[in-house]
């Protein structure tokens, strides 16, 4: 029988594996630090499990890259983290952060699975997806047990099935606005949650960054996150629905350098990219015009922030170049 693993990697497979490798090397640095600082004995095993999973992923990918004569990405190393630095985040935030990372892992691995064809690559991304689901379940269960899990808002159960009969359903600027749908509430809550976690993380990064340009970039990101949390929360508050709590108190007063500016810039850039995707999905799912326009107005703003972050990384030589197609014109000239 033909060995299907001898088939070349597609561009999509190269991209997903390359990105996963970078992300897992970052996860090793971050979780190695968390493991050194965690005090809650219920949180510690989850951090250990996450760290071991990232190391196992790296080992699998290194073997795959070597078989393909594919240059192994550098990513992040022990030089990018100071394990002796003081504690920067609370144990509760560690747990919330890991839950947020599991959500990103499930999202990216689902896309990777949709585009992967080689059996060994498909198997690997299934592993990443299953591990993401397991981490989501474990963190959720512990947060529920410890009373730190914030549920989305409750609404009344419908009395009957209805169909939309008037264009008024789409209105949002003039006259009476309809109530938010459960779908719109879900997206508002999710965007509040992700920006709350992002705000806390970037606050800690701003405190410990070394480069002034990086500090300013993070401070700007903190203000954007606050703006988005307030904006989305106001939509819920106007409907007499609760908006979730913030995580400001989860950031301690440490100013000692912990992670390299390179690592923190990449981390924030990756989360910003995910945020842009969240806004796009929310825009598509929100039929009330005022809500849709708000999402649409925020996408260019955060996209510009992402571009500025890329420029900072390029300027300092921190952006590792992903695989690219051949430049045929250059090859012809040579």
For residue 95, the domain's CATH number is: 1.20.1260.10
Token pair 């529920």 is found at: 144
User: Considering the domain boundaries, does residue 128 fall inside one?
Assistant: yes
| 135 and 195 inside one domain | no
Q: Is residue 117 part of a domain?
A: yes
pLDDT value at residue 175: 55
pLDDT given for residue 324 in this prediction: 78
182/141 same-domain check: no
pTM exceeding 0.85 = yes
Task: List the structure tokens of 71.
Answer: 């240059």
The percent of residues in the chain predicted with pLDDT above 70, rounded, is 90
Q: Is the pLDDT of residue 131 over 70?
A: yes
Give me the pLDDT at residue 328, please. 67
Same domain, 206 and 106: no
Residues 212 and 294 in one domain: yes
pLDDT at 250: 87
pLDDT in tens, 20-73: 999 999 999 999 999 999 999 999 999 999 999 999 999 999 999 999 999 999
Backbone phi, psi, residue 78, to 5°: -65, -15
261 pLDDT above the threshold of 60: yes
Residue 150, pLDDT score:
87
The range of the structural domain enclosing residue 182 comes to: 169-315
Contacts 24+ apart (CB under 8 A), 107-113: 107/274, 107/277, 108/16, 108/19, 108/20, 108/23, 111/16, 112/12, 112/16, 112/20
Taking 80 as the threshold, does the pLDDT of residue 167 lie above it?
Answer: no
Give 327's pLDDT tier (boundaries 50, 70, 90): low
The verdict on 201 and 280 lying in the same domain is yes
**Is the confidence at residue 291, as pLDDT, over 80?**
yes
pLDDT at position 322: 86
Q: Please state the rounded mean pLDDT for residues 137-147.
A: 96
What pLDDT was estimated at residue 264? Answer: 97
pLDDT bracket for residue 290 (50, 70, 90): confident
Asked if 34 and 94 touch (Cβ cutoff 8 Å), the reply is: yes
Q: Tokens 């890329």 appear where?
A: 310
Give the H/E segment covering residue 64: helix 44-67
Distance CA 310, CA 53 (A): 29
Of 325 and 124, the one with more pLDDT: 124
Low-confidence winner among 120-134, 160-174, 214-228, 242-256 (lowest mean pLDDT): 160-174
Residue 286 has a pLDDT of 87
Q: What average pLDDT does the segment 65-86 reach? A: 95
Q: Is 157 among the domain residues?
A: no
Stretch 272-286: mean pLDDT: 93
* Res 171 pLDDT > 70: no
Q: Which is more confident, 5 or 61?
A: 61
Average pLDDT, the chain: 90
Boundary (domain end) residue, out of 146, 180, 210? 146
Provide mean pLDDT across the span 122-138: 97
301 located within any domain: yes
pLDDT of 173: 52
Whether 151 maps to a domain, the answer reads no
Quick one: 214 and 308 in the same domain?
yes
Q: Of the given ranges (41-50, 65-74, 178-187, 227-236), which has the lowest mean pLDDT?
A: 178-187
Residues 134 and 181 in one domain: no
The torsion angle over the Cα atoms of residues 202, 207, 209 and 212, rounded to 10 degrees, is 100
Q: Are residues 94 and 193 in the same domain?
A: no
pLDDT for 4 equals 53
One domain, residues 102 and 224: no
- Are both 36 and 123 inside the same structural domain? yes
Q: Which of 101-105, 174-178, 313-317 has the lowest average pLDDT?
A: 174-178
**Rounded-to-integer distance, Cα 310 and Cα 312, Å:** 5
Residues 218 and 186 in one domain: yes
Q: Which of 8, 144, 128, 21 is nearest to 73 (CA)?
A: 21
């Amino acid at each position: 029988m033909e060995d299907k693993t001898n088939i070349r990697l597609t561009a999509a497979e190269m991209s997903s594996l390359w990105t996963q490798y970078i992300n897992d090397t970052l996860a090793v640095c971050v979780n190695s630090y968390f493991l050194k600082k965690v005090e809650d004995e219920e949180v510690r095993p989850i951090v250990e499990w996450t760290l071991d999973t990232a190391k196992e992923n790296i080992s699998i990918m290194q073997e795959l890259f070597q078989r393909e004569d594919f240059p192994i990405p550098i990513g992040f190393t022990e030089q990018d983290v100071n394990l002796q630095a003081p504690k920067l985040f609370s144990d509760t935030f560690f747990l919330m952060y890991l839950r947020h990372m599991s959500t990103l892992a499930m999202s990216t691995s689902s896309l990777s699975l949709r585009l992967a064809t080689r059996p060994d690559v498909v198997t690997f991304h299934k592993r990443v997806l299953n591990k993401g689901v397991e981490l989501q379940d474990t963190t959720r269960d512990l947060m529920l047990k410890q009373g730190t899990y914030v549920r989305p808002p409750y609404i009344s159960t419908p009395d009957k099935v209805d169909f939309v009969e008037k264009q008024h359903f789409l209105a949002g600027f003039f006259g009476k606005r309809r109530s938010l749908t459960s779908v719109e509430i879900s997206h508002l809550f999710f965007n509040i949650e992700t920006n709350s976690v992002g705000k806390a993380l970037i606050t800690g990064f701003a405190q410990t960054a070394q480069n002034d340009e990086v500090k300013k970039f993070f401070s700007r990101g903190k203000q954007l996150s606050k703006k988005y949390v307030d904006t989305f929360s106001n939509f819920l508050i106007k409907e007499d629905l609760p908006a979730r709590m913030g995580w400001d108190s989860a950031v301690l007063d440490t100013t000692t350098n912990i992670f390299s500016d390179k690592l923190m810039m990449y981390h924030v850039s990756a989360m910003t990219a995910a945020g842009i995707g969240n806004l796009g999905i929310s825009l598509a799912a929100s039929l009330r015009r005022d809500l849709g326009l708000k999402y649409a107005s925020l996408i260019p703003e955060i996209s510009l922030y992402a571009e500025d972050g890329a420029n900072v990384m390029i300027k300092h030589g921190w952006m590792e170049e992903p695989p690219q197609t051949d430049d045929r014109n250059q090859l012809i000239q040579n």
